[in-house]
Chains A and B, each alone.
Chain A
């Protein structure tokens, strides 16, 4: 196998480091990123090789930061790319796709991708215990994968998470630590804990590797569209990492000659109650001001987004857009996607659909644009958000008369309901 990784490199000052469990530049505190040996990768990778690979994100192993084979999360990724004809018609788009990570394996969110990379890499680096700071989905995925990998596990979550996301940790029996505070409090605490314990904190000291897993959403998009990059992507933003890695992934495919043009514009989606990145973008600023989150889109409730700066930069570079929607629009977005495409997204998906709708109205996304909306988590995990907005079942007696009376049907089934 070729040596894919050259080094970790500081995104700010360019200083290089060995590919260890570190995430911060010692000189300027900038975040570290994996630097690849693209020349050698280019010699081995091809469309054909990828197409003959496994039906998972590991068909793109040549562009993922691990040294050997995948040992954790072998089935993650390669989720459906759904041609959304109904939603497209409703919005006035000719070619709209939903990248459906609500059915990612095994914990029903895109986090299974990043965790598969993070835990495989953590094992390569000799760790026996993994940990994370999470708004919910990441904790679920780390807990599940740690159970399967037989690793020790600590997950740190804010005190106000949805019931299904709390249960979705406990069932795997990790140490679930509920911190009295919001995600940013959890995150700061974990940064301090990570400095004191030799654990693989997937989104702290393992973050340079972990974050690369998100690129597979871009790779799959390009392959599933028949080896072409879309004109528009709409991506939910919490830390901003997913958006920047989708951009990186699409551009890597061009670097390696797998596609020859990238017409893609990035569109970042946030909830108004936590929109530090989109607010900065709309004000034309290249820096953001942290906020105290207040939104039902808890999976996106990061007030101090680690990759906010880079998300602003990438979106400006491709002349994309950013928008935010209200909690009401989030609920509307969830219902619209469910009722047009039969896909039940969590709140982050409601944010994405709400913002997609807004950007089409504003003319930022045009009718003929090939558009992909990323739906990154499953609605069954955030039922609280929609429980009062979906009505009740019709209740009847167990008799034919009761049924027909309720639905005002004649004896032969003619319905006027």
Chain B
């Protein structure tokens, strides 16, 4: 099982849960699987072409997936995925 932290704007889709469990061999798969449990989630994270939206940031165990393999980043049991919309700051 992989723990996924859900940001506030997406919680209406996850019955207000801030953290959910999911399975998937990589980020792309886990997004698909989340979408079947929580319908509409994928559309919020990805654009029409299926690419992650510009302002969506995803971290695996605190590491930005853009430093890993993006959507192909491999996940293993016990990993923690965090979705952070529109990193602010600066």
- List A residues at the B interface (Cβ < 8 Å): 12, 23-31, 133, 183-185, 187-188, 190-192, 195-196, 201, 203-204, 207, 238-241, 287, 289-290, 292, 302, 304-307, 309
Contact = CB atoms under 8 A, between A and B. Distances in A.
A27 B86 contact: no
B32 interface: no
A290 B82 CA distance: 17
B89 interface: yes
B5 to A, nearest CB: 7
Most interface-central of A12, A25, A195, A309 (chain B CB within 10 A): A195
Contacts of A190: 89
Contact of A24 (B62, B66, B85): B85
Given A23-B88, A239-B89, A306-B87, A287 B66 contact: no
B69 interface: no
Contacts of A240: 90
B64 A304 contact: yes
A31 B90 contact: no
A306 B87 CA distance: 6
Nearest to B45: A29
Nearest to B12: A26
A307 B58 CA distance: 17
Contacts of A192: 5, 82, 84
Given A27-B44, A28-B53, A29-B53, A204 B88 contact: yes
Interface range, B side: 20 to 34
A289 B67 CA distance: 9
Interface string B49-67: 0000111110100101011
Nearest to A32: B86
Contact of A29 (B18, B55, B62): B55
B41 to A, nearest CB: 12
B62 A185 contact: yes
B55 to A, nearest CB: 4
B24 interface: no
A237 to B, nearest CB: 9
Contacts of A207: 88-89
Contacts of A239: 89-90
A302 B89 CA distance: 9
Nearest to B7: A195
Given A192-B82, A306-B86, A306-B87, A29 B5 contact: no
Given A24-B9, A28-B55, A304-B64, A191 B84 contact: yes
A309 B90 CA distance: 14
B89 A12 contact: no
B81 to A, nearest CB: 13
A241 B85 CA distance: 17
Contacts of B82: 188, 192
B36 interface: no
A190 B90 CA distance: 12
B55 A12 contact: yes
Given A12-B54, A12-B55, A302 B62 contact: no
Contact of A188 (B44, B87, B90): B87
Most interface-central of A29, A207, A290, A302 (chain B CB within 10 A): A29
B40 to A, nearest CB: 11
Given A24-B85, A28-B55, A289 B66 contact: yes
A290 B90 contact: no
A204 B9 CA distance: 14
20 contacts: A24-B85, A24-B86, A28-B53, A28-B55, A29-B44, A29-B55, A29-B85, A31-B55, A31-B88, A187-B88, A188-B84, A190-B89, A191-B7, A191-B89, A204-B88, A207-B88, A302-B90, A305-B90, A306-B87, A306-B89
B17 interface: no
B57 A188 contact: yes
Given A191-B84, A240-B90, A290-B66, 17 more contacts: A12-B54, A25-B9, A28-B44, A29-B44, A29-B55, A31-B86, A185-B62, A187-B90, A188-B84, A190-B89, A191-B87, A192-B82, A195-B7, A195-B8, A203-B90, A207-B89, A238-B90
